[in-house]
Structures are given as structure tokens and as C-alpha cells.
Chains A and B, each alone.
Chain A
Amino acid sequence: MYAIAIHGGAGAVPRATLSPERERRYREGLEAALDGGYAVLEAGGTSLDAVATAVRLLEDHPSFNAGHGAALTRDGAAELDAAIMDGRQLRAGAVASVRHVKNPIDLARRVMEKSRHVLLVGAGAEEFALEEHFTLVPNQYFRTAERLEQLESEQHGQRVSDLVPPAPHGTVGAVAYDSRGDLAAATSTGGMTNKRPGRVGDSPIIGAGTYAKNGVCAVSATGHGEYFIRAVAAHHVCAAVEYRGLTLTQAVHELLHHILRGLGGDGGLIAIDREGRIVMDFSTEGMFRGARTAAGHREIAIY
């Protein structure tokens, strides 16, 4: 048995505002990432490689709010956050506020594998990237015409989500279970459009936006990051499964529809348990998502 699930962000995705052309692009991006990650598992690869592959493909796709095409800060720059976690020994790596690393998920993985640290931020993270022989890219690489347009609308008082979904909540992520029974999770984001420089959301925070623990579950979240941090969302789901014996479906439902809703936060998450069962749930209008299992199940969905 092996399985993978991915998300490309949750938010207000009114059907009326999503043109067929745009919907097709989102679906194609999700399919490529889902199948890319799944191919790793099918070839006997690790869940860690599968989630890294899927997230890298989503980072490279301009429709999603991560890597190329990330949301822009109020200064018009992209500031990127990412995290990856290996459920085998609770190893983790994360980066926050990097501006010149093409694939933040690759740098997060390098932090996990080649440094003694878990989280590196800002210029120090980029210095580490150079020490590890990453090639840096100009910040302009991340900027797309669509994101600039969103930033301008946001700065002129129009709600972005009414124009192009799902800018405020866009984040990409993946969770996987491999044939050895190992779990892994990865998340990457540009954060909120028009955010204050230096603002860090839940994505790179282990336990908040990303968590994986063998024998329990793996989680990647997307949504209003500040609420996910306060609720320690990803770890909460795993703790509810491990300590209270809830099913993954129950644990995710309680978090999204009771705890986060009670705090006033919305969003979604994908999770996978120790038997490879997948849960994808959200409290927003929609969430870009996909799942594929060795049992032959394959789905891509938005609403």
C-alpha cells in the first residue's frame, strides 16, 4: 500500500469567478504534481521523496502561491516559507522569509539533512543555501503579472479573493505514505498577499502547518496561518489521533469545524494516517486538492 495527497490552497473559490480556462490550468497543475509524487512511490521511492517532488512541481507552477507565482508582500517582493518532515525519526527542516531560493522546499530538506538546525530564516537561510551550492535567483523570478495585479487590488482596497482565487489562503502541500509504512509531509507558501515583510505564517512551523509522525499521521495545512499557529493545528490532529483514539476524519473535522472555527479562522488540510487512509477537509468554499492511492483511487477536486 502507498498513497499521496496534495493541496494547492484553500479559500473562497466562487465557481462564477473561476473561468474554465483558469480552472483547467489549476487542474493540470494539480494532476502533474499528484502524478509526479505518485510515480516516486510507485517506483518504490520514499514518502519523503514523493512529497518533495509534488511540492516542487507546485512551486514551479505559476498558478499556485508558492515558489514561482507566490503572493507578494506589501513591498512587492516574494518572501517564501517551507517545511518538510520525515515521520521516521521526527526529523524536520524549514526555512522562512527566503527571497532568492527557487525551490524553498529543497532548501528546507537540506536544512533537515545537512545542518544541525530545524529552522533557518531570512538572509541566514540564503547564506546556508550558498554554502550548500544552491544557485540563487533574483526575486523577480517569483513575480507574475497576476500576483502584481492582486497586490495592486489589495492595496487599493478590493478584496483579492473576489477577483482571483485563492490568493490569501494559497499554499501548497503534500502528505504521503510509502510501501515501507513511512509517513512524510511538506508545505510551501508565499504567505498572504500584501503581507508585512517579515511576517511568517504556519507553513514553516513544525506542528502548526506541517507535521509527520510514523504510526500516527502526516498533515499539511493551508489557511489563515495565524489561527493555525495558535491552535498548533497539525500536531493537534496527530495528538487527537494518538492520545484520544479519534479516527483521522474525526480529528481533522474537530480541528477545522470546531476549534479553528471557534477561534474565527478558516482553511483546510490534508492528512494521511498510518494505514495510508487520506482525509482532505476544509472550512472554506473550496480547496485545490488531489489524492491517489495504490488501490487505484485517483481524484482531483476544487469544491
Chain B
Amino acid sequence: MSPPTLPGSIAVLLIAAAALLSAAARGAAPAPIALVIHGGAGVIEPAKMSPAREASYRAGLAAALDAGYDVLERGGTSLDAVTVAVRLMEDDPQFNAGRGAVLNHEGDAELDAAIMDGAGPRAGAVAGIRRVKNPIELARLVMEKSPHVLLIAEGAEDFALEQGMGLVPRGYFRTEAREHELEEARRAEKARAAATPTTQVGVASAASSVGTVGAVALDRAGNLAAATSTGGLTNKHRGRVGDTPLIGAGTYASNESCAVSGTGEGEYFIRQVVAYDVCAEVLYRRLTLAQAVHEVVQVKLRRTGGEGGVIALDRAGNIAMDFNSAGMFRGARDSSGRREIAMYRDIPHH
């Protein structure tokens, strides 16, 4: 095995060195890499945040941002970078995804996730799953190991088992904080129902939708990827699926245009096909990424009353993070040396 690989690796090194030299000779900068993440948009205000909680959110965001960025720095793919960043936030109980996801009306976490590879474009997504520890990994398996894009509920969990993934009991996802939120939401729902009888279901407060997680990345090879994962809305109707796992709504990536991950009131994001619309504005109306994100988030979503935000990235490494809510947990890091973590509106983000 080893004799042929030695000359091979020398050749690779030589080619790499030659490429670097010629890039230097042309004065070209190395290809940019970048990772952008979010941990949800909504009522995130300094007045509602203790210093300890703020520090804890910052630490969670920083861990995901740096771990994902490390993947890119070591020459890894954008697909791996977004998977790593999202998985860490799924495992962090303060975000609304994986462990610590919000609970539906029956008290269960029902999880949705999607991932998209801008190079295919190919995509995988899962919705309404209750026993998979890291939904983003199952979404990736759907993309890589099945002919399908979207699998839901028991059928998706069956596929997880076929792929050798272990399931976890539903109690794994439940935290005390989320149980408390559900109780509050149910109480509010009862009070509202007593005041105005209505047939509307799944009444949930905007505040409880905070915490969807997502990431977009650009790797050395120039490939874009996007990933999003969520528990949805507190007290949601069983079976409710938001924008997160719907390709084009909450998650989209194409090397032709851009990569986008959204967070907010999912129903509005679905109806406006938000993630794809950002990319269509870039590709067809020749808007800059920042202009396109502004148009979709601040003009179109606002017009219909939809609250939330998106993170976006293009192949030149341009980053956009915009939201029409009070705040959005977010972070960005790129090869120009930029590294930031933010959550409120008052911090410049362009």
C-alpha cells in the first residue's frame, strides 16, 4: 500500500505548492471560507436577559461557531461544517432543537430538520420525529442514503433504525424549562378560550418560538451548504410542521446563488418561500445578498406580519444576518478575520 502513496502525496504537495505560488504571483487572495449561525429570532431584549443567561447563550453560540469554523479551516466541506455547528446547538438545551426543544400540546418534542448541499443541489429533511437524538444527522442520511428528500414521523424513525442509528426515549428531549413554558402556554390558551371561544388550534406565543438553530457555510472549494433544526412552537398542534424542513422555505442552498437558513413564524416563511426567495432575488433581480435579505425580511415578511430573521451567505463570502424581531441569536466567522457573536438589534451586523 505505502510505496505508491508516498510519491503520490509528494505530487499532491507539489501541485498544492504550485497553486499557492501561482495564486501569490497573481496577487490573488486565497478562496474565502465563512460560517454563519443562528440560534433563533424573537423577543430577545436586554431587559429580559440576565447577565448569566446572556453569557450562557454567548458560550453556546461561540462553541457552535468555532467548531463549525474549525471544520472549514482544516479544509473540510461546508456540509460537514453546518452539520457540526447545528448538532452542537441541538445538544445544547438552551436552544429550541434536539435536547431542550419546545414541547407540543401533548408534551412531546416533535422535531424537524433539513440540510442542503449547494453543489447538487441535493437535500434531505425530516419532520415530526420524536426519538432521534440529532435530527440534522438523520436529515443528512436522508440526503445521502435514500432517493427521497423528506421523510416524516414513524417512517423517518424506521429509516433511522435501518441506517443503524439508535433511538432515544422521548424523555431525553424534555427539560424543566420547556415543561414550564408549556404549562404557561396551556394556561394562556385556556384563558383565551374562556374569553373568546374559537376553533383555532395550536395557539402559541411568539416568544416561545425563539430558538430554532441553523447554519450556512462556504468552504475552500467554493461550495455552499445550509442546515436548520427546530422543535417548532410551544404548545403546537401535534403534526404541525413549520418552515424548517421545507426546502425553499426555511432552508436553501445553491452554488448558483446563495445559502439561507431562517427562523421565525414558520407559517409566514412557508407561504413566502423565504429562503429560496432570497436566492431568487439575488440570481434574477441582481440584488446584493444584503439587499435581497433586507427586501425579504424587512419588506415582504413585514408586509404580511411575519416575524423572524435569516442568515445568508454567498460564494464571494458575503454575509447577511437580518431580522425584523427584537433580536436574533447569531454568530459569524470568516477568513478575513471577522468573528462576532450578537443577539440584540443595537449591534451593527452589516
- Given known A-B contacts A115-B202, A121-B239, A123-B153, A198 and B158 have beta carbons under 8 A apart: yes
The B116-169 residues at the A interface (CB cut-off 8 A) are 120-123, 127-128, 146-156, 158-159
Q: Are A119 and B241 in contact (CB under 8 A)?
A: yes
Q: Are A90 and B151 in contact (CB under 8 A)?
A: no
Q: Are A235 and B239 in contact (CB under 8 A)?
A: no
Q: Are A229 and B153 in contact (CB under 8 A)?
A: no
- Given known A-B contacts A206-B271, A230-B121, A232-B276, A115 and B153 have beta carbons under 8 A apart: no
Q: Are B280 and A198 in contact (CB under 8 A)?
A: no
Interface of A is mostly: mixed
Query: How many residues belonging to B are interface residues under a CB distance threshold of 8 Å?
Result: 50
For A232, the chain B residues whose CB sits under 8 A away are 247-248, 252, 273, 276
The B235-289 residues at the A interface (CB cut-off 8 A) are 236-242, 246-249, 252, 266-267, 270-273, 276-277, 280-281, 284-285
Query: How many residues belonging to A are interface residues under a CB distance threshold of 8 Å?
Result: 46
8 Å CB contact of B237 from A120, A230, A240: A120
Q: A131 contacts the other chain (Cβ, under 8 Å)?
A: yes
8 Å CB contact of B148 from A92, A131, A196: A196
Can you pick out 6 interface pairs between chain A and chain B where the beta carbons lie within 8 Å of each other?
A97-B152, A115-B237, A121-B241, A123-B238, A197-B158, A198-B153
Q: Are A229 and B271 in contact (CB under 8 A)?
A: no
Q: Are B249 and A128 in contact (CB under 8 A)?
A: no
8 Å CB contact of B238 from A127, A201, A243: A127
Q: B201 contacts the other chain (Cβ, under 8 Å)?
A: yes
B232, closest chain A residue (CB): A117
- Given known A-B contacts A121-B128, A127-B239, A116 and B267 have beta carbons under 8 A apart: yes
For B155, the chain A residues whose CB sits under 8 A away are 97, 196-199
- Given known A-B contacts A116-B200, A235-B248, A243 and B280 have beta carbons under 8 A apart: yes
Number of cross-chain contacts by CB at 8 Å: 160
Query: 6 closest A-B pairs (Cβ-Cβ)?
Result: A198-B155, A124-B239, A124-B238, A207-B273, A232-B248, A243-B284
For A263, the chain B residues whose CB sits under 8 A away are 121
B275, closest chain A residue (CB): A232
State A298–B231 Cα separation when bound (angstroms).
Answer: 48
The A124-156 residues at the B interface (CB cut-off 8 A) are 124-125, 127-128, 131-132
For B152, the chain A residues whose CB sits under 8 A away are 96-97, 121-122, 198, 200
For B127, the chain A residues whose CB sits under 8 A away are 121, 200
8 Å CB contact of A125 from B159, B239, B246, B280: B239
Q: Are B153 and A121 in contact (CB under 8 A)?
A: yes
State A229–B116 Cα separation when bound (angstroms).
Answer: 11
State A256–B316 Cα separation when bound (angstroms).
Answer: 29
* Minimum C-beta distance from A61 to chain B (A): 27
8 Å CB contact of A131 from B201, B236, B266, B270: B201
State A118–B238 Cα separation when bound (angstroms).
Answer: 13
